[in-house]
Amino acid sequence: MEKLPVRHPVAEVQQLPVTLPQMLPKVQSADSKISRLNLDRQTTRQTAVKEAFERCWRSYQSLAWGADELAPLGSSPKNKLGWGATLIDNLDTLWIMGMHDEFKKAVAAVTHIKFEDTQSPEINTYEVNIQLLGGLLAAFDLSTDGKLLGKAVELGDMLYAAFDTPNRMPIIHWNAHKAVRREEQLAEESVLGAELGSFTLEFTRLSQITGDPKYFDAAQRVMELFDKKQDTTELPGLWPVSVNAREGAFDDNVFTLGAEASSLHKSLPGAYALLGGKLPMYRRMYENATLTAAGHNLFRPMNSEGKDVPISGAVRVVTADNGNQQIHLEPQMQYQSCFAGEIAHKLVDGCIWAHRVIPLGIMPESFDVVPCASLKSCPWSEWHWKQEVWKNANRLEPEPNPNLNVDTFIRDHRLPKGFTGIPDTAYNLRPEAIESILTLYRVSGREDLLDAAWDMFQAMQSATQTKNGNAAIGDVTDDGSEVTLKDSMDSMWMSQTLKYFYLMFSPPDLISLDEFVFNAGGHPLRRPNE
């Protein structure tokens, strides 16, 4: 892309911190090496995951090479930007799995991508950053191939142009064509806070590699605003789902760890580690957010097995007429909040439980449950569960149906005991559950997680495998003999989900969490030694 004029130059670029790095504690547990004791079994599992990846890669290579994605049912290419997203997204996976010939072919193709040529004028800078810039940086960190660094700088400069706004907040939905025509664009008045606050890892790493501090400076300005606002929101300690980037206002009243916020919370400990502990603000922000979430967003779902498996819901803060605040928990679990398993063992166990209670063995994108009154004690009550199912079924109706047969409703909607509704029955090949299982295994060495991960992989592979790759599921509550599939194989299936499964069954020194941090797109960025 031709060099664009700078409308709002930075008076002084903030340099990367140069104080001595902190002696950060080891992340990985020595106990995670327990997998070496049953190496044969783990090697067999690792091979099965690699074979699943190779099948998908061969299908992409033969049917959609150079396209953003493969439509597995239609056996055809799909494009949004036309930048070969699946190619870039999987460079590091190819390297990690030892597929070096395929890696070289992919690198050769990636070097010919022209980012100035896009099939869609509007670019989601957040998605491009975590998926594509992250992919290029991770592949460079692993291979040291200078061609990849050149493409990373090229893409980083394009994204950097989206920060050229009066308050230096990035434009998330940035129009490249307008930029070329020299039309000014402003940061949006309503964007997801996670979109705004998830540039830190990639921009910091790009500055570390190139020595050019401008990228770090751009992302750091955004995060300093998040730091400043953290204790002034409607729920101090957490940032709302939606923020006004143009005004720098954080006034929304909904707070979650789910789909709309997960990447922001993931990036905070990663940034602390990537910067060698030199910026304590990232640790402080993460700890404060975690404490607030633990006090308000976490709840225990009532279940017939009596399992103590807290999960994460959304919180809505409402100000009453008398000025008092009321905090309402919305007991809905989202698949993407499984990343919060990094908070505690029981949260990971909650995600594993949510997979196992669905006959297909796969958790839906979102589901509603009965929240327990206490985290400590929660006896099962069939009557209470059915009362809550009746309420949930009538919640959106203008007039409640007094004749609703709850047992019929439960049967027709295939609700497991404790579930009151499943607003989104799909499974879109997401990685968050296995990501959290892998993280907890590497941190704790809990051997039972190996079998839990294997059960999950087998369930996913069995339900989603098609002739050409794997397809998202439309309804995970379907009878296992006939599963409704969608003609979609998002590149995250290979670049994240299968990568995490592969690492789960690999020796723990492969992409050690003491040497790398994962960005929100599942790409490992190397932590500097100095």
Angstrom CA distances, 147 to 2, 150, 211, 411, 458, stand at 20, 5, 17, 56, 37
- Enumerate the β-bridge partners of residue 416: none
452-459: average pLDDT: 97
CB 105, CB 127: distance < 8 Å: no
% the chain with pLDDT above 90? 72
Angle, CA of 97, 497 and 195, to the nearest 5°: 120
Angstrom CA distances, 22 to 142, 273, 279, 285, stand at 24, 9, 10, 17
Question: In this structure, which amino acid lies at residue 289?
Answer: A
Angle, CA of 133, 138 and 142, to the nearest 5°: 150
334-354: average pLDDT: 74
Question: In this structure, which amino acid lies at residue 22?
Answer: Q
CB 2, CB 417: distance < 8 Å: no
Q: What is the pLDDT of residues 160-206, one digit of tens each?
A: 999 999 999 999 999 888 887 888 888 999 999 999 999 999 999 99
Q: Could you tell me which residues come within 8 angstroms of residue 498 by beta carbon, excluding any fewer than 6 positions away?
A: 49, 52, 53, 56, 93
CB 472, CB 428: distance < 8 Å: yes
CB 222, CB 196: distance < 8 Å: yes
Provide the pLDDT confidence category of residue 530 given band limits of 50, 70 and 90: low
Neighbours of 369 (CB within 10 A): 25
In the prediction, which pLDDT does 35 show? 47
In the prediction, which pLDDT does 150 show? 97
Q: Which of 516, 504, 499 is nearest to 93 (CA)?
A: 499
505-521: average pLDDT: 95
Q: Quick one: tokens of 68?
A: 């953003």
pLDDT reading at 336 higher than 80: no
CB 99, CB 116: distance < 8 Å: no
Provide the pLDDT confidence category of residue 412 given band limits of 50, 70 and 90: very high
Measured distance CA(199)–CA(267) in Å, rounded:
9
221-237: average pLDDT: 96
Neighbours of 344 (CB within 10 A): 15
pLDDT reading at 119 higher than 90: no
Q: What is the pLDDT of residues 477-512, one digit of tens each?
A: 987 678 899 999 999 999 999 999 999 999 999 999
Q: Could you tell me which residues come within 8 angstroms of residue 125 by beta carbon, excluding any fewer than 6 positions away?
A: 159, 162, 170, 171, 172, 173, 174
Q: What are phi and psi of 328, to 5 degrees?
A: -110, 125
Q: Which residue has the higher pLDDT, 349 or 398?
A: 349
Helix (H, G, I), strand (E, B) or coil at 69: strand
Each domain of the chain, given as residue ranges in start order, spans: 30-526
Q: What are phi and psi of 60, to 5 degrees?
A: -60, -45
Provide the pLDDT confidence category of residue 329 given band limits of 50, 70 and 90: confident
* Cβ burial, residue 259 (10 Å; 0-12/13-18/19+): buried
Q: Is the dihedral of CA 435, 439, 440, 445 positive or negative?
A: positive
Task: Please provide the DSSP assignment of 72-128 as one string.
Answer: TTTTEEE-SS-S-HHHHHTHHHHHHTT-HHHHHHHHHHHTT--TT--SSSEEEHHHI
Angle, CA of 100, 140 and 269, to the nearest 5°: 120
pLDDT reading at 153 higher than 60: yes
Q: Could you tell me which residues come within 8 angstroms of residue 435 by beta carbon, excluding any fewer than 6 positions away?
A: 338, 339, 496, 500, 518, 522
Global pTM exceeds 0.85? yes
Q: Quick one: tokens of 278?
A: 């030199």
Q: Across the chain, what does the average pLDDT equal?
A: 91
In the prediction, which pLDDT does 37 show? 54
Helix (H, G, I), strand (E, B) or coil at 65: coil
In the prediction, which pLDDT does 340 show? 52
Q: What is the pLDDT of residues 8-40, one digit of tens each?
A: 889 899 999 987 667 888 988 876 665 455 777
pLDDT reading at 418 higher than 80: yes
In the prediction, which pLDDT does 342 show? 55
Q: Is the dihedral of CA 468, 42, 448, 97 positive or negative?
A: negative
Angstrom CA distances, 388 to 310, 344, 406, 409, 489, stand at 19, 28, 10, 12, 35
- Enumerate the β-bridge partners of residue 344: none
In the prediction, which pLDDT does 486 show? 96
End-to-end CA distance of the chain: 34
Angstrom CA distances, 402 to 177, 393, 399, 405, 407, stand at 56, 11, 9, 9, 14
236-251: average pLDDT: 95
CATH class of domain segment(s) 30-526: mainly alpha
Question: In this structure, which amino acid lies at residue 157?
Answer: D
Please state which of the ranges 85-89, 112-116, 183-187, 274-278 shows the lowest mean pLDDT: 183-187
Question: In this structure, which amino acid lies at residue 124?
Answer: N
Q: Quick one: tokens of 397?
A: 């109706």
Neighbours of 122 (CB within 10 A): 15
